[in-house]
Amino acid sequence: MSSPTESRPVARPRLSRTTLLGIAGVVVCAMIWGTTWYAITLQLGTVPTIASIVWRFGLAAILLFIVSAVIRQPLKLTRAQHLAALGQGAFAFSVSYAFTYAAEGHVASAIVAVTFASLTFINLVLFRLAARQKAAAASWGGALLGLVGVAVLSGGEVLGAGFDRRAAMGVGLALIATTASAFGNFFAWRGQNAGSAAIPSTAWAMAYGTGLLIIFGLATGVKFHIDPTPAYVGSLLYLSIFGSVIAFGLYFTIARTIGYAMASYISALTPPIAMLVSVMFEGATFDWSALVGLALVLSGQLLLIRAPKS
C-alpha cells in the first residue's frame, strides 16, 4: 500500500466545453473557407463578377439581419459604428472580393487561397502604423515566413507558366484583394472598439459593401441577372449561407469568446484544404515550389499562434 505522503501522478485537467466547442468551430470554419475558393470558380462565366458578389453578400446581409433580430442583438448603430461598418464593407466585402473573383479567373483557386496567407504580415504593418499596436518578435517572424512562402508559391506559379501575363495578373489581383482585406480588418477593429456587436456590425458591413457594388455596377453598365443553372445557384447559396453567414459568425464567435490565438488556426488549416480541393475538382497540379511555399506558410502560421500576445 502506498503511504499518504507518497506522490501520485497529477491528473491533467480536461479541456473545457468552451475550448472543445472552439476547436470544433475552427475545424468547421476552416473546412468551409477551404472549399469556398473553388465554389467561387463556379460563379465565373455568364454572370458579371460584380453581380455575383452583390447576390452573395446581399443575401448574406439579409440573413445576418434576421439572425441579429432572432438573438435580440440591437441593429441600431451609432455614427462611429456605422462609419466603421462602412469602411469594413467597402474594403472587406466590396474591393477585396471584387479582386478575389477576378484573380480566380486567371489562376487556380488554391493559389489565391495561399496568397491570402500574406494577410497576417500586412495586418501587422497596418496596425503598427495606423493604431500604434506592437507585436512580439515571433509574430513578425511568423508573418515574414508566411510572406516568403507566398512569394515562393506565387513565383513558382508565374515561372511555371513561363512568365505568362495571365498568371502574373492573377497573383497581382490576389495581392490587391489581400491588402483590401487588411484594411477591412482595421475598420472591423475600429467598430469593435466603438462597442458594436459582431453580428449586427457584420450585417451592416455586408449591406454597405453590397450597396457600393450596386452603385459601381449601375455606373459601369453591369447587367444584374442570375444564371439559373444548378451549379451557379448551388454555389451562390453555399457561398452566402456557409461561406458568409456561418463562417463569419463562427469566426467572430471564436475570436471573441476564446481569443484570436485559437481563431488563428483557421489560417493554418485553410491553404492545404484549398489546394486539395483544387487538385480534386480543378485538375490543378503543384510542383516542388508550391509544396515548399505551403510548408513555409504553415510554419509561419504555427509560429504566429505560439507567439506571445500583446
Task: Summarize the confidence of residues 11-16 as an average pLDDT.
Answer: 55
Burial of 8 (0-12, 13-18, 19+ CB in 10 A): exposed
In this structure, what are the phi and psi dihedrals at residue 4, rounded to the nearest 5 degrees? -60, -25
Count CB neighbours of 218 within 10 A: 11
Alpha-carbon distance of 57 to 230, in angstroms, equals: 19
Q: Which three cell numbers stand for residue 141?
A: 517572424
pLDDT of residue 303: 76
- Average pLDDT, integer, range 9-37: 72
Residue with cell 507558366: 161
Indicate whether 1 pLDDT > 50.
no
Question: What b/e sequence results for 35-67 when a residue is b if at least 16 CB atoms lie within 10 Å of its CB, and e otherwise?
Answer: bbbbbbbbbbeebbbbbbbbbbbbbbbbbbbeb
Half-sphere exposure of 141 (CA within 13 A, CB side): 10
Distance from chain centroid for Cα 283: 24
More confident site: 44 or 155: 44
Q: Where does the pLDDT of residue 257 fall: very low under 50, low under 70, confident under 90, or very high at 90 and above?
A: low
Q: What is the CA radius of gyration of the chain?
A: 21
The tens digit of pLDDT for each residue in 280-297 reads: 888 877 777 778 887 887
Of the given ranges (30-44, 87-101, 247-261, 274-288), which has the lowest mean pLDDT?
247-261
Confidence (pLDDT) at 47: 94
Average pLDDT in the 191-207 region?
A: 92
What's residue 149's pLDDT?
79
Instruction: State which of 65-74, 136-145, 264-273, 282-291 shows the largest mean pLDDT.
Output: 65-74
Answer whether 191's CB lies under 8 Å from 85's CB: yes
**Rounded to whole angstroms, what are the CA distances from 3 to 6, 8, 9, 11, 98?**
5, 10, 14, 19, 71
Identify the band that residue 57 occupies on the pLDDT scale cut at 50, 70 and 90: very high
CA distance 186 to 125: 11
Q: Phi/psi of residue 180, each to 5°?
A: -65, -35
Average pLDDT for residues 141-165, to the nearest whole number?
A: 71
For residue 64, the 8-state DSSP code is H
Scan for cell 441577372, then name that residue: 225
Spatial distance between the Cα atoms of 148 and 56, rounded to a whole number of angstroms: 32
Arithmetic mean of pLDDT, 14-25? 67
The amino acid at 263: A
Residue showing cell 490576389? 174
Residues 6+ apart with CB under 8 A from 27: 269
Distance CA 29, CA 58 (A): 21
Distance CA 114, CA 103 (A): 12
Is the pLDDT at 265 greater than 80? The verdict is no
Predicted confidence (pLDDT) at residue 201 exceeds the cutoff of 60: yes
Q: Is the pLDDT reported for residue 86 higher than 50?
A: yes
Q: Which residues contact 134 (CB under 8 A, 6 or more apart)?
A: 128, 310
| Over residues 231-235, mean pLDDT | 96
* Confidence (pLDDT) at 159: 65
Distance CA 302, CA 169 (A): 30
pLDDT of residue 108: 81
Task: Tell me which residue of 58, 130, 71, 46 sits closest to 97, measured CA to CA.
Answer: 58
Q: How many CB atoms sit inside 10 A of residue 115's CB? A: 28
pLDDT for res 156: 67
| Residue 2: pLDDT over 70 | no
Structure pTM? 0.82
